[in-house]
Amino acid sequence: MSEKAMNGASSRPPASAGLRQWLKKNLFSTWYDLLLTILAILFLYVVIRGIVTWVFTVADWSPIINSLKLFAVGLYPVEEIWRIGTILAIVSLLAGFSWGVWGGIVRTFAVAMGAGFILIASLPFDLYPSNADPLDLMLRLGFLLLPALILIGLLLGRKLRLPGRWILILWLLSFLLAMVLLTGIQGSAALPKVETTLWGGLLLTFLLAIVGIVASFPIGVLLALGRQSSLPVVKLFCTLFIEVVRGVPLVTILFMASIILPLFLPEQIRIDRVLRAMLGMTLFAAAYMAENVRGGLQAIPAGQYEAAKAVGFNNVQTTVYIVLPQALRAVIPAIVGQFIALFMDTTLAIIVGLMELLAVGKAVLQSNQEWLLLDKEVYLFVAVLFWVFTYSMSYASRRLEVALGVGER
C-alpha cells in the first residue's frame, strides 16, 4: 500500500475536495436533486422526531424494566442464577484470551461485550425488582467484574500466545462445561438438576442458536462432501436427506421433532424437549448449510484438484488442505446469512412451547392486566435485541471476509 501511495504521489490529482464539494456533488447537483434532498430531510425529521418523542415521553417501558430477569433467563430459579454468572465469567475470560491471541475482530467484540456489561451494571433501575437490595447490588458488582475478567483474559492471552487451535478447543470445552452447569446433575446437592422447561429468554435463544450453528456447520460440510462423493450410496443418502429437509418448513420439522417423534420412540426413551428442538433446528440448518457449501465446492477449479493430486495428496488430504479452505472462504457471506436466519428462526420454538425471547415477550404482556396494551413497547424491545445480535453477526462476517481475503485471486 505504501508503494502505491509513493508511486501515485507525483502526478495524481487530489481525490476529494472537502465537504462542500461532496455536498454539492451528491446532494445538490441539480434542481431535482435539491428537491429530493429536502424531501428526504423533511421525511427523516418527521419520522425520527416521532420515534424519539414516543420512546421518551409516550411509551411505558415498565413491562420490560420489571421483567428483566424473565427476558434474560426465563424461569431459571433465582437461587441458581450464579451458574449463569459463572458461565458469563468463563465466556468473558475466554473472550479476553482470544482477543489477546487473535486481536482484530475479536477485539471489537470483546470491547462491545465489556461495554454491554458496564451498561447493564449502570442501568438506572432495579435489575431484580421483586427482591431485596443486596441481590441487586451483587448483580451489578457481578456485571462490573466481567469486563475486568475480559482484561485479565487479554493479559493472559498476550502472555501465553497459545496456537489458535487450542483456543477453539477451550471454547468447545467451556461450552460443554456450560451445558453441564445449566442442566445440573441428577440427585446432586451442590448442583441440582434444573429442568429445561424453566430455561427461557435470551439464555434459551442463545443456546438454540449456538447449538444449531455449531452442530449444523460440520454436519452440513459432511453432507455437501457426501453429495459430491463418488460412492453412490453415500451420495444418494446425502442428496435424499438434503432434498427432503429442504422441502419441509422448519415449523413442520419442529412439530415432528417434538410431537410426532415421541410417538414412535419407545416409552423408556424420552428426549428432552429443548434437545428435540435443538435437533430439529440443527438438521434443518445442516441441509441448507450443505447446499451453501456445495456452491463453494463447485467454484474450485479442476486445476486445484490436479495440482493436489500431482504433489501426492490423497482424496482426504486434498479435501482438508486444498478444497475446503477455499470453498468455505468463498461462501462466508452465505453461511453467515444462514446463521443469522437460524438465530431468528429460534423464535419458532415458541410453537412447541419453549420460552425463548419472543415467547417471554408475549408472556410478559399477559402477566399483568395493566401491561396488556403495551405490546408496541415489548415487541420493539425484542426486535431491537434481535437486531443488535444479528447485526453483530453480519459485521463479524464482513470483517472475517476482509481478514481472510488476502491473496485471493
Binding stretches for other proteins (CB under 8 A): 301, 303-304, 306-314, 317, 321-322, 325-326, 329, 406-409
Is the CB of 36 or the CB of 307 nearer to other proteins? 307
Taking alpha carbons only, the member of 274, 269, 80 closest to residue 185 is 80
Could you tell me the three cell numbers for 120?
A: 447493564
Q: How far is the CB of 332 from other proteins (least distance, A)?
A: 13
Residue with smaller CB distance to other proteins, 59 or 300? 300
CB of 103 to other proteins, least distance (A): 19
Measured between alpha carbons, how far is residue 65 from residues 69, 134, 245, 374, 384 in Å? 9, 18, 41, 13, 15
Nearest-approach distance from CB 408 to other proteins, in angstroms: 6
Q: Which is nearer to other proteins, 107 or 309 (CB)?
A: 309
Min dist CB 49 to other proteins, Å, is 50
Question: What does 73-88 look like in DSSP terms, one character per residue?
Answer: HBT--GGGHHHHHHHH
Choice between 134 and 163, CB closer to other proteins: 163
C-beta closer to other proteins: residue 248 or 311: 311
**DSSP assignment of 279-292:** HHHHHHHHHHHHHH
**Toward other proteins, which CB reaches closer, 129 or 405?**
405
DSSP H helices, 231-317, are 232-246, 250-255, 261-264, 273-298, 302-310, 315-317
- Output the smallest distance, CB 298 to other proteins, in A: 16
Question: Rounded CA gap, 282 and 285, in Å?
Answer: 5
Q: How far is the CB of 328 from other proteins (least distance, A)?
A: 10
CA torsion sign for 241, 247, 252, 254 is positive
CA–CA gap between residue 82 and residue 140 (Å, rounded): 13
